[in-house]
Structure 1
């Protein structure tokens, strides 16, 4: 069941762009949304499964052989973390991040804490740690008991819980799918769960299974109550998603505002560039350009930052307008950029934000943006792709994690380094 749920949300994440395009150019009634969406998902999922069928069979054989070998390992080898060792076989970028950041284990499965989840979204790499913390039944019951109901949700839901929560890999993929989507697509996501079309989602539907026996998690407890008998309304589902997006934005903004109500142009630029594959020299040139023309009187407020994030979440619609410019081999000026925003989003960005965008992405400084100068980079920003994070050289053994942890503490505390 858990593997099915993971495959489902992985497939949904992979095909989210094609699903969005499908609805963008279709004019079906809401009553038909669930049927058509599930048809698209079924076709895409079948194609995905066919491509990976042989690989899965081969992988199962390797896993069985590896298990036989592990059973014969001596005590010294058994000191290593078995879960971390199997993590190396994960290739999907978001599953990989889940395995890298997940810090707890329960009943042989790994989970994220709410703080792990937030860090995986905004941080380049996980905190140094010595293995994963193994939870007992009593600890898990205490954690779930403290989980607030959906009626007490807030924009600090994950921050308030800190390490007192369990998030499964499937739930992590689900959160990633909706994290960067516009609110107009929340209803589509809700309809995927609402299989009987009664405008309510129960725990059975959320788990996508008729015969599910799954460990209770923070989200399941939050959505469906202590005994799992509550149902989830669309308004409650939407409020949770909006709170999640707002919480991430506040964390990012506060990380650069340092307690003030605004962030500088350089900070805004740094937020954008940390998700790009620009080389070091290119980033230096961009920072110099921004610094040269920066005006402290036009510092960026949280409301402006939030508006730009709304623009990013609707990037697919804006991309259509930009693509027409590309087909006509026509670059876009600041005025035309603003008009494209107005057409596709229904609102205008602050002039200062647009000028800053051009300063960052107009590499040849011709006062125009092309599709290729802007859209690919913004898609990376939207997906929060960490190009600079190379975990191929990061050892997952407990001893190496211990050494990294000591080095981290020594760096933070010079007294430790001297000793």
Structure 2
């Protein structure tokens, strides 16, 4: 969770904020009622603040001095205010605040929370800015960095393709129209041959006066278009809208790859990604291991305590396995069985790792009333590459059967 400094002197507003912010699993608010109190909190060193949500007018800072202070502390700042004239708005945006929110009802507070959430998520979103004017490129990149986006830059379409290939995790591309070597139209046409609209958002920019230019951008594959000079807030809002669209698509795709009960990846995803990881290991000559994990006596747990308890046990064990195999690939194969792929580990190291996970799972028994139910698993591990991922799983299953024949609660590997 990220710690956010909330500076607000109104008891009523603080009450509303506490109620709304308490619902967030992403932020931990720390409250101050004045600039002096905020300075004391920051100066104490007890908190590593991520951002600030501040009231524009405080008893000891009636002229908005609190904004200057939080910005001087390099804190992305969201401003709360009862009213805002155009001059004050322009002044605040020029200073470099993230956003401002007028206290006009519950939605305003919900919006403030959404802005803070967006800032946290933006840190993982990479944006490529393609603009031949260094001044414009710097301006656009500056707006993006205020919102905590990762920013990469290119001076023209040809360079943009090189940068995009070097940064395959780019989610958004913002491109000007007129550029040397390759203009915005040609760039979009080239890119759309590889990237779908749901994989890479493209926003076109131009200062051209032609009214149909926006339609032309959209028709060749852009998701959106803005005419320069554009409104600061419109730019940020449209960008947020598109990022949220991509995140929604990713959530849907991810859900299709997950086991419904446990949240682990499913068999289909394991075979797809496992084949890719295995092929990379073959090409690079790096070690890779496959493990088949089977919960011991899980059928008897269902029969004795019921399927509801069995499902609870499965979910908790899966959660422990997911956490332990976080840097590897884990999937629920079905029933009480899990598959794991461990790139970079040979048989001996993979066996030792899986055995340590086995010990951790066994150290966390489940309780049914006053009764403690110990959970154990057996596992088979192979590092023989074989013909494909399916054959590797078959070899790991042979090792698993040896472990079961030995009484279970043990990890066995290649002979």
TM-score by length of 1: 0.24
Bigger relative contact order, structure 1 or 2, given CA contacts below 8 A and separation 6+?
A: 1
Q: Which has the larger radius of gyration?
A: 2
Richer in helix (by share): 1
